[in-house]
Amino acid sequence: MSTMDVKDEDRSEESKKNHISYYKSLSKIILEIQDEKDQESEPAIKEHLENRINAMEKDKKRIRDMFPDIREEEWDGHTN
Tens digits of residue pLDDT in 28-71? 999 999 999 999 999 999 999 999 999 999 999 999 999 998 88
pLDDT recorded at residue 3: 45
Measuring CA to CA, how many Å separate 25 from each of 20, 28, 30, 59, 65? Answer: 9, 5, 9, 12, 17
Tens digits of residue pLDDT in 4-23? 444 455 678 888 899 999 99
From CA 38, how far away is CA 7, in angstroms rounded? Answer: 38
| Higher per-residue confidence, 1 vs 78 | 78
Give a yes or no: residue 23 inside a domain.
yes
Give a yes or no: residue 75 inside a domain.
no
Range of the domain at 30: 13-66
pTM confidence score: 0.77
pLDDT recorded at residue 9: 59
pLDDT recorded at residue 32: 97
